[in-house]
A and B are shown apart, each in its own frame.
Chain A
Amino acid sequence: MASQSSRMTPRVRYFPTHIVVFILPAAALYTAFMVYPLFDSLRSSLQSAQEGGGALFVGLHNYARLVTDSIYAPRFWGALRHNLTFFAIHMLVQNPVALALAALLSARDLPGRALYRTVLFAPTVLSFVIVGFIWQLMLSPLWGIAGGLMRLVGLGAYFRPWLGLEGSALVTLSLMSVWQFVGIPLMLFHVALLGIPDELREAARVDGASGWRVFWGIEFPLILPVVGLVAILTYVGNFNAISPRTSWARSSTGRSSDFSSRWAIP
């Protein structure tokens, strides 16, 4: 932001009507339908509804109830635990897979790179809801796609209706989400890898470093800031993950895959 002052137009001295005309519509819409509702919700969370209308300021009482009440608390803490599992699976599966694919995709002059990029990013543009249904069908023992493919490679005996089992529902949901969103970290890593000057790789190669060494010794340290960014985005995205539970897997799994963000909204 600081660098902008050097190339700005002359300072405006008369009343800048045009600036108001340019900014006001966006600011007004954003304030009325985003900022105000967010603050209003925050205010409501500190109040308690009273008989006959009206609201009473109760401070953090509602929050205290959420984390201690015998009805709400177990569900809240359970949901939070599910969020952490969901986050852990994304960090352990989604981001390493994305990094590996990005490293391969960034190989120099790879033929078909644009096509690969298009295909690998495609699931990301689908709706959460649709992805949920797609995988419900894929994993359905009735249709037998997943079971059939596993039989094909000799693993048929290990097939279970994972989405419907209490113990595996959350992991399955997480992996469905990984399938959908792996394209985002993939693109971020890919772009970062493309941004590394070739001279650095060449120098290492001339010194006799293998591709593996070049990646871990030169490329990975250089894209560390992006690795950090991806971790933050994963964390934020994970706590915004409301749709999977509300729309996916209306199965008999009960609350084994409830999320805390669903609880953020009563």
Chain B
Amino acid sequence: MSVAPVSPARLSSGLRVAPSGGKAIGIHAVLIGYALIALLPVLLIVMNSFKTREAIFGRPYFPPLPGVFSPSGYLTMFERAHFARYFANSAIVAGAAMTLILLLGAMAGFALAEYRFRGNAWIGLYLALGIMIPIRLGTVSILRIMSSLGLVNTLVALILVYAAQGLPLAVFILQQFMRQVPQDLKDAARIDGMSEYRIFWLILPLVRPAVATVAVFTMIPIWNDLWFPLILAPGEATKTLTLGAQLFIGQFISDWNAILASLTLAMVPVLAVYMLVSRNLIRGLTAGALK
């Protein structure tokens, strides 16, 4: 039996013993097995996107080493479609929508958490309602509104819809975290004569972990969405990466190099961001639920 190092914080809960021997091997075997199921498809796509057509079919599990390496899929992609533009569009939409969601969500969350006024609970409830209702059900009206505003085929249309869709959850989560900021801090600032707006900017950095969690949870669905780009902004100049990849693959269904390359390009940005923040993200989730 191996005894794991005991951290001071955990001493109180008695002896801490790591799973040992055969049991530990069994646990790791199952977890590694499932991790392979989760990762293998993604790995195979990424690996084969850098290989020649013969190698993709002949040796699919072989890494893209010299000899089987070929960037031809990527070349086709950049020749035939404006992937750099799609990428920029996705980044602009996700970035702008996220900025709006975080800023406006934090402002509303701050007001709901900080001030007692008539209708506080009702406004909170009203803003939270949208968490459960899919905005897609209002698509017909949204399209009508956007076309009357002359915003069809603009990125602004997407930004507005995504911001509206993301706000309910952002307000809800940020409001919970704003409540936990010590009251003394805000009162001290008030005694020093700070305006309420200054106090907001003082508090905002203190809820950074919550802001990061909200940022990722709102960014991922926006980045991945196919529905609104297809309906509100399907034009060549405003295509997002997900839509661009989907249409591209539809056209090049028999060009395996190009398909694998475009899938890789569509996956890698979101996976990279996820890997960067995953530790904090999962910690944020854990902290939120254990509160």
List A residues at the B interface (Cβ < 8 Å).
1, 4-5, 7-9, 11-12, 16, 18-19, 21-23, 25-27, 29-30, 32-38, 40-41, 44, 97, 100-101, 104-105, 107-112, 114, 116-123, 125-130, 133-135, 137-138, 143-145, 148, 179, 187-188, 191-192, 194-195, 197-199, 202, 211, 236, 240, 242-243, 246-247, 250, 261, 264-266
A40: nearest chain-B partner, CB-CB: B141
Q: Interface centre among A32, A44, A122, by most B CB within 10 Å?
A: A122
B71 close to chain A: CB less than 8 A: no
**What are 17 residue pairs bridging A and B, where the CB atoms are less than 8 Å apart in the complex?**
A7-B183, A9-B183, A11-B116, A23-B108, A30-B127, A37-B140, A104-B27, A107-B19, A110-B27, A118-B278, A118-B282, A119-B35, A119-B38, A120-B38, A179-B38, A192-B289, A265-B137
Q: Interface centre among B41, B42, B270, by most A CB within 10 Å?
A: B41
Is the pair B27, A107 in contact by a Cβ cutoff of 8 Å?
yes
Residues in B neighbouring A247, C-beta threshold 8 A: 226, 246
Is the pair B196, A18 in contact by a Cβ cutoff of 8 Å?
yes
Residues in B neighbouring A36, C-beta threshold 8 A: 138, 141, 145
Choose, from B62-70, B74-82, B164-172, the stretch at the interface.
B164-172
Is the pair B263, A130 in contact by a Cβ cutoff of 8 Å?
yes
Q: List residues of B (27-71) whose CB comes within 8 Å of A's CBs.
A: 27-28, 30-31, 34-35, 37-39, 41-42, 44-45, 56-57, 60
Per the bound structure, the CA–CA distance linking A62 and B164 in Å amounts to 29
Q: List residues of B (1-28) whose CB comes within 8 Å of A's CBs.
A: 4, 13-19, 23, 27-28
A211: nearest chain-B partner, CB-CB: B23
Residues in A neighbouring B134, C-beta threshold 8 A: 240, 261
Given the interface pairs A108-B19, A199-B14, the reply to whether A117 lies near B289 with Cβ below 8 Å is: no
Is the pair A114, B279 in contact by a Cβ cutoff of 8 Å?
yes
A168 to chain B, nearest CB (A): 19
B176 to chain A, nearest CB (A): 10
Is the pair B165, A34 in contact by a Cβ cutoff of 8 Å?
yes
CB within 8 Å: A-B pair count:
262
Residues in B neighbouring A97, C-beta threshold 8 A: 34
Per the bound structure, the CA–CA distance linking A19 and B118 in Å amounts to 11
A72 to chain B, nearest CB (A): 17
B91 close to chain A: CB less than 8 A: no
Per the bound structure, the CA–CA distance linking A211 and B17 in Å amounts to 13
Is the pair B44, A138 in contact by a Cβ cutoff of 8 Å?
yes
Is the pair A122, B167 in contact by a Cβ cutoff of 8 Å?
no
Give the contacting residue for A127; candidates B15, B116, B136, B226; CB below 8 A. Answer: B226
Per the bound structure, the CA–CA distance linking A12 and B30 in Å amounts to 58
- Report, nearest first, the 9 A-B pairs whose CB atoms are least far apart: A37-B138, A127-B224, A33-B164, A22-B111, A37-B141, A40-B141, A26-B108, A8-B116, A26-B104
Given the interface pairs A107-B27, A119-B35, A129-B246, the reply to whether A26 lies near B18 with Cβ below 8 Å is: no
Residues in A neighbouring B132, C-beta threshold 8 A: 236
B5: nearest chain-A partner, CB-CB: A109
Is the pair B270, A125 in contact by a Cβ cutoff of 8 Å?
yes
Residues in B neighbouring A148, C-beta threshold 8 A: 60
Is the pair A29, B135 in contact by a Cβ cutoff of 8 Å?
no
Give the contacting residue for A243; candidates B28, B31, B124, B227; CB below 8 A. Answer: B227
A180 to chain B, nearest CB (A): 9
Is the pair B137, A199 in contact by a Cβ cutoff of 8 Å?
no
Is the pair A16, B135 in contact by a Cβ cutoff of 8 Å?
no
Residues in B neighbouring A246, C-beta threshold 8 A: 226-227
A123: nearest chain-B partner, CB-CB: B38
Given the interface pairs A8-B116, A25-B107, A110-B19, the reply to whether A118 lies near B44 with Cβ below 8 Å is: no
Residues in A neighbouring B110, C-beta threshold 8 A: 22
Is the pair A109, B16 in contact by a Cβ cutoff of 8 Å?
yes
Per the bound structure, the CA–CA distance linking A18 and B194 in Å amounts to 13
B182: nearest chain-A partner, CB-CB: A7
B99 to chain A, nearest CB (A): 12
A236: nearest chain-B partner, CB-CB: B132
B208 close to chain A: CB less than 8 A: no
Is the pair A120, B34 in contact by a Cβ cutoff of 8 Å?
yes
B95 close to chain A: CB less than 8 A: no
Is the pair A119, B4 in contact by a Cβ cutoff of 8 Å?
no
Q: A4-B179, A23-B108, A188-B289 are in contact. List 9 more A-B contacts (CB 8 A).
A: A12-B116, A18-B197, A25-B107, A35-B129, A37-B140, A120-B34, A134-B42, A198-B14, A261-B136
Is the pair B164, A134 in contact by a Cβ cutoff of 8 Å?
no
Per the bound structure, the CA–CA distance linking A120 and B35 in Å amounts to 6
Is the pair A29, B104 in contact by a Cβ cutoff of 8 Å?
yes
